[in-house]
Structure 1
Amino acid sequence: MYDEESDVITSIVSINGEDKEIIITEQLVREVLEFPDDENSPTGFPERMVKGCMLRMGYSGP
């Protein structure tokens, strides 16, 4: 669920049968993707790369 006020995504996931709350922030995404914090930082990826990542994660939609 996306919370516009705090600008975070919250999700409940099951890990080894135990439900855990995961909170995703912009800062976390920037750290994981290694985006530097300057104005010339990339903000997107090529469609082919995104589709490849989604397929590897098991997503089979369009």
Structure 2
Amino acid sequence: MATQKRDLAEQIAYLTEKEWTSEELLATGEEIYETSVLHVTKLMEQELLDSIQHSQEAMLL
């Protein structure tokens, strides 16, 4: 988690210092969106797997 925060901070620092063309802004925005969607999807998958595991454990009791 700390590494992710550091990476994000470095990316923000880079993004705020750069002069952007419209093509670069569009490509960067698309990349950020795709990365965010992938991250959220992975989190949701993990929560679902955890829920299934807890349900299975509860049925065994």
Please state which band the TM-score falls in when normalised by the shorter chain. Answer: under 0.3
Q: Could you tell me the TM-score, scaled by structure 2's length?
A: 0.26
TM-score, scaled relative to structure 1:
0.25
Larger of the two Rg values belongs to structure: 2
Q: Which has a greater percent of helix?
A: 2
Structure (1/2) with the larger strand percentage: 1
